[in-house]
């Protein structure tokens, strides 16, 4: 077996509305082989992974998968379940898996819910190796691999502080996205986007962080603010440290100037030889060393968020309690076996590591690891009380005297930090400060919050929620309005129309489309940008107040969505355009893909569906969210029935675009006043306008704003590549459009027939990656509306040989018996020129293009100008419907 490739879908997708990893595997010699064919295979698997007995599989009950194993199941399915069981052993609760044949013998896609791509990739590889080993009966170091996987989990998961913030944000339905492999999170969308890393927020002052990172500077600022600190100096000279001890004649503490987590710290030093050893120890972390008086008392951490004390904990250094039987080392081993202790930050507490600091501390206390403490005797193992070095925390949030609360807030203000941990030594934080010895030892930027969320004693304090509340005060949104648009045809124009309406209302709009990503008027990324990465470009831009996302089939299928939920999901149309691509075999497959955008909506979201498409009407019955239907026909039974039930609909009546809710109706805009409809001839744009009105109205735009925006929307300025009209010097009109499938050809053909009353000349071509039957159907549709026909090819052949597609189209046209005049000219610009040269008396010409810009340039070279209106001398009367 071997892995062909991995695909990480980190948003809602066709398999699950949560991230998944898709691995394509080649089963090689295990192709079409089943589990029962390998003697002892099932027993070996179940012995090593007994949790498989609990897997349901398709039976819907525990033990279902084991039944499948004994009865016979394919190896892709087995790898899926083994991977899920390994993830369960690693502490993940996900249980979603799916295995699908990838249309070739032995090639399978295994889909697993993916909370950590790094881990799931490796788990799938190990699962595949282990299944093969069990089948072939050779030894495999499964437990060793699981041990390595546990380390990978600890290394690659978010740290406890960042994870707590992510969870707090998710509880408030705030979008959360991890950026990179570190601890940086993006919260929210658009103008409400915020960054947070560990407990440093976007609001955290860089100067404040720099101050807190310099212990000497922090002490100076605190001292100038009248906050009691230990007397001390900063030096790189052990002689100066000795001089400080001799001059002040008090116990002292030595710690690195630039250090954290209690590393290199020694306290309670009284003797000169202790100074020399402690100074050398501190300099293993930082050349400069803080030498200060040692303040006796209990160690506290006060956590301040946005000038509010949200938690306080007493920090107790790592220690063991004697039982009169076991040595110190044995007691440490027993403490480290506690389930709440793990490596680094993987669990609420950290295992105690016997390092140089522990050995030095025991040596000063004249003890060794072999000593057996008395029953109940507490043996301290180090000076610092950090959780990261094995300490524990006791919650004292309710006990803090107002004096110390005010002191913590003053310290935070002094160093200009929004989130900070104030380290304080006091005799008793519950008593008034004026009556006791105390001092502020440090002020910490990016303070760890594990001790407050998981104290060993006392109540858990949700500091993460307080940090999220600081970034998003209650009542403040974290999301911007999002409209997601898909459909076989019409999605680009609909997307642009919605963008135009929202911009006319004064919003800064981000848009993804087949032409590029736009932020307001700026194209920040050119190209066909209709996938999830393009959506993220928009949603991560802090200027954006509303997002309109053209969401194409290919991006959904390959990578899922680039957002979690939209406010409006629109499906403009549905046709067989992509059958034969990417495993699609039916219109139902296409619908399943496109329906994702109307499934992933906010709780107040709206699905907008075309009531003239039966499959979309059927889809509406399966949706959880309200539906607004659009139709070109006011008497469409679906519209009538929907309104009778109190629903909302948008349709055409007597030349007006109408909004209706139940028995109420409002005229929004006259069709003849909307230039892109060409007086109603471009009937396909009517559906696009109705979809745009439905979306804008749901987002709170007034009908007047919608109407005014539709009146000012021009194909030449706002809708490049979609029914753009050019007038030649001789008065001929050329309509250029990206019609590239059967429905697109029919829509443009019907428009041309309404305008001219007969078939008109055209240049036609289609993308080469479509199924031959789809291409032939589109060509045959063209024969109904166009003559003569000039056949061209796209510059991007999409896997076809040059001339192959043009010949296929020409042959399909010939079979209709209606295409009397067909010319092949592969270059689309040359084909355009040939059509203009040979058809000088035709008032209307149609140009189906791959790319507008070369076509536009060719027309301008011939003296054409782009116009927003089309008036034929003998234009027949056009009814809106």
Contact 276, 425 (CB under 8 A): no
Q: 231-293, what's its fold?
A: Dna Ligase; domain 1 (3.30.1490)
List phi, psi (to 5°) of 311: -165, 155
- For residue 578, what are its two tokens? 């992509």
Contact 386, 441 (CB under 8 A): no
Contact 91, 128 (CB under 8 A): no
Contact 218, 415 (CB under 8 A): yes
pTM: 0.90
- Which residues on neighbouring strands pair with residue 824, listed in sequence order? 791
- Which residues on neighbouring strands pair with residue 548, listed in sequence order? 483, 511
Is it the case that residue 221 has pLDDT exceeding 60?
yes
- Mean pLDDT lowest for which of 221-225, 390-394, 739-743? 739-743
Q: What's residue 263's pLDDT? A: 83
- Domain positions in the chain are 2-156, 231-293, 482-718, 724-867
- Mean pLDDT score of the chain: 93
| Rounded Cα distance, 18 and 9, in Å | 8
Condensed to tens digits (0 to 9), the pLDDT of residues 159-207 reads: 899 999 999 999 999 999 999 999 999 999 999 999 999 999 999 999 9
| Rounded Cα distance, 477 and 604, in Å | 14
Is it the case that residue 880 has pLDDT exceeding 60?
no
Determine the average pLDDT of the residues in 696-725: 96
Listed residue (297, 309, 316, 312) closest to 425, CA to CA:
297
| Rounded Cα distance, 196 and 194, in Å | 7
Element (H, E) at 305: strand 298-305
Going by pLDDT thresholds of 50, 70 and 90, the confidence category of residue 873 is: low
Listed residue (798, 732, 734, 733) closest to 765, CA to CA:
798
The DSSP secondary-structure symbol of 158 reads: P
Burial classification of residue 799, based on how many CB atoms lie within 10 Å of its CB (0-12 exposed, 13-18 middle, 19 or more buried): exposed
Is it the case that residue 668 has pLDDT exceeding 50?
yes
The DSSP secondary-structure symbol of 354 reads: -
Angle at Cα 193 formed by Cα 192 and Cα 198, nearest 5°?
130
Condensed to tens digits (0 to 9), the pLDDT of residues 560-603 reads: 999 999 999 999 999 887 777 778 889 999 999 999 999 999 99
Listed residue (468, 469, 449, 470) closest to 460, CA to CA:
449
- For residue 356, what are its two tokens? 């140089």
Q: What's residue 740's pLDDT? A: 85
- For residue 877, what are its two tokens? 């009367």
410 contact partners, CB below 8 Å, separation of at least 6 = 225, 227
Going by pLDDT thresholds of 50, 70 and 90, the confidence category of residue 878 is: very low
| Rounded Cα distance, 581 and 15, in Å | 18
List phi, psi (to 5°) of 37: -80, -10
Q: How many CA atoms lie within 13 A of 428 on its CB side?
A: 5
| Rounded Cα distance, 79 and 158, in Å | 27
pLDDT > 70: what percent of the chain? 99
Determine the average pLDDT of the residues in 361-369: 91
Angle at Cα 97 formed by Cα 95 and Cα 103, nearest 5°?
180
Q: 724-867, what's its fold?
A: 3.90.190
- Which residues on neighbouring strands pair with residue 292, listed in sequence order? 232, 253
Condensed to tens digits (0 to 9), the pLDDT of residues 14-39 reads: 999 999 999 999 999 999 999 999 99
Is it the case that residue 874 has pLDDT exceeding 50?
no
- Mean pLDDT lowest for which of 94-108, 400-414, 441-455, 457-471? 94-108
Q: What's residue 877's pLDDT? A: 43
Q: What's residue 537's pLDDT? A: 98
Please give the span between the terminal C-alpha atoms of the chain, in angstroms, as a whole number: 60
Listed residue (551, 637, 540) closest to 594, CA to CA:
551
Element (H, E) at 335: helix 328-336
CA dihedral angle for residue 6, residue 12, residue 16, residue 20, rounded to 10 degrees: 20
Condensed to tens digits (0 to 9), the pLDDT of residues 837-864 reads: 999 999 999 999 999 999 999 999 999 9
Condensed to tens digits (0 to 9), the pLDDT of residues 110-153 reads: 999 999 999 999 999 999 999 999 999 999 999 999 999 999 99
Determine the average pLDDT of the residues in 318-336: 95
Sheet holding 724-727: strands in order across?
822-824, 786-791, 760-764, 844-848, 733-737, 724-727, 865-867
How far is CA 545 from its chain centroid?
18
| Rounded Cα distance, 264 and 256, in Å | 6
| Rounded Cα distance, 725 and 868, in Å | 7
CATH tag, 482-718: 3.40.1190.10
């Amino acid at each position: 077996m071997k892995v062909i490739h991995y695909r990480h879908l980190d948003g809602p997708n066709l398999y699950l509305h949560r991230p998944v990893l898709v691995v394509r595997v080649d089963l090689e010699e295990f192709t079409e082989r089943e589990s029962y064919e390998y003697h002892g295979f099932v027993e070996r698997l179940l012995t090593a992974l007994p949790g498989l007995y609990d897997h349901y599989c398709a039976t819907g009950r525990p033990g279902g998968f084991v039944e499948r194993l004994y009865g016979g199941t394919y190896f892709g399915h087995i790898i899926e379940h083994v991977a899920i069981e390994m993830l369960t052993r690693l502490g993940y609760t996900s249980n979603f898996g799916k295995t699908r044949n990838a249309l070739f013998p032995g090639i399978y896609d295994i889909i697993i819910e993916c909370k950590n791509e790094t881990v799931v990739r490796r788990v799938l590889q190990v699962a595949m190796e282990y299944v093969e080993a069990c089948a072939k009966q050779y030894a495999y170091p499964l437990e060793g691999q699981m041990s390595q996987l546990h380390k990978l989990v600890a290394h690659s998961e978010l740290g406890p502080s960042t994870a707590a913030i992510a969870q707090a944000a998710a509880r408030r339905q705030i979008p959360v996205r991890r950026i990179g492999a570190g601890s940086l999170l993006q919260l929210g969308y658009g103008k409400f986007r915020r960054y947070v890393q560990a407990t440093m927020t976007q609001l955290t002052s860089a100067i404040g962080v720099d101050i807190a990172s310099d212990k000497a500077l922090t002490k100076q600022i605190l001292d100038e603010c009248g906050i009691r600190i230990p007397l001390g100096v900063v030096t790189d000279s052990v002689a100066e440290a000795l001089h400080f001890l001799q001059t002040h004649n008090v116990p002292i503490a030595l710690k690195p100037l630039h250090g954290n987590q209690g590393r290199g710290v020694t306290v309670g030093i009284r003797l000169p030889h202790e100074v020399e050893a402690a100074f050398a120890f501190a300099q293993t972390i930082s050349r400069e060393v803080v030498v200060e008086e040692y303040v006796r008392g209990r160690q506290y951490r006060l956590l301040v968020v946005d000038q509010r004390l949200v938690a306080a904990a007493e920090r107790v250094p790592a220690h063991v309690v004697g039982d009169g039987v076991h040595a110190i080392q044995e007691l440490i081993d027993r403490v480290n076996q506690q389930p709440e202790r793990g490596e680094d930050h993987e669990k609420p507490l950290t295992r105690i590591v016997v390092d140089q600091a522990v050995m030095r501390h025991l040596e000063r206390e004249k003890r060794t690891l072999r000593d057996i403490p008395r029953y109940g005797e507490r043996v301290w193992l180090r000076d610092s009380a950090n959780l990261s070095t094995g300490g524990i925390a006791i919650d004292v949030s309710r006990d803090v005297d107002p004096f110390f609360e005010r002191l913590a807030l003053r310290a935070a203000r002094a160093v200009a930090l929004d989130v900070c941990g104030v380290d304080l030594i006091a005799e008793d934080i519950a008593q008034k400060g004026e009556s006791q010895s105390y001092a502020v030892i440090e002020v910490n930027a990016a303070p760890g919050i594990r001790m407050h969320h998981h104290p060993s004693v006392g109540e858990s304090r949700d500091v993460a929620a307080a940090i999220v509340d600081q970034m998003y005060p209650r009542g403040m949104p974290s999301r911007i309005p999002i409209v997601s648009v898909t459909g076989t045809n019409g999605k680009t124009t609909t997307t642009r129309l919605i963008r135009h309406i929202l911009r006319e209302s004064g919003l800064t709009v981000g848009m993804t489309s087949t032409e590029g990503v736009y932020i307001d008027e700026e194209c920040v990324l050119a190209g066909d940008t209709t996938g999830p990465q393009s959506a993220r470009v928009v949603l991560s831009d802090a200027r954006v107040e509303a997002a309109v996302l053209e969401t194409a089939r290919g991006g959904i299928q390959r990578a899922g969505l680039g957002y979690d939920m939209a406010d409006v999901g629109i499906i403009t149309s549905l046709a067989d355009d992509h059958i034969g691509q990417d495993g699609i075999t039916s219109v139902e497959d296409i619908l399943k893909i496109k329906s994702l955008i109307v499934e992933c909506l906010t709780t107040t979201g709206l699905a907008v569906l075309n009531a003239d498409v039966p499959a979309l009407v059927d889809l509406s019955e399966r949706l959880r969210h309200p539906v607004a239907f659009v139709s070109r026909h006011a008497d469409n039974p679906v519209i009538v029935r929907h309104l009778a039930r109190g629903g909302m609909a948008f349709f055409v009546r007597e030349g007006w675009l109408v909004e209706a809710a139940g028995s109420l109706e409002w005229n929004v805009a006259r069709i003849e006043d909307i230039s892109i409809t060409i007086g109603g001839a471009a009937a396909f744009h009517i559906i696009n306008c109705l979809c745009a009105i439905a979306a804008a109205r749901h987002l709170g735009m007034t009908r007047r704003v919608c109407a005014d925006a539709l009146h000012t929307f021009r194909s030449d300025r706002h809708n490049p590549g979609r029914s753009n009209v050019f007038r030649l010097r001789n008065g001929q009109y050329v309509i250029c459009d990206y019609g590239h499938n059967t429905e697109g050809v029919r829509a443009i053909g019907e428009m041309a027939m309404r305008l001219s009353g007969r078939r008109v000349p055209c240049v036609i071509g289609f993308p080469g990656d479509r199924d031959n039957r789809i291409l032939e159907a589109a060509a045959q549709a063209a024969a109904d509306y166009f003559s003569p026909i000039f056949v061209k090819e796209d510059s991007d052949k999409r896997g076809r040989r040059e001339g192959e597609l043009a010949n296929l189209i020409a042959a399909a046209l010939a079979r209709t018996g209606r295409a009397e005049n067909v010319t092949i000219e592969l270059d689309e610009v040359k084909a355009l020129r040939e059509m203009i040269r040979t058809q000088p008396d035709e008032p209307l010409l149609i140009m189906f293009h791959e790319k507008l810009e070369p076509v536009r340039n060719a027309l301008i070279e011939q003296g054409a100008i782009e116009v927003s209106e089309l008036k034929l001398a003998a234009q027949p009367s056009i009814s809106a419907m």
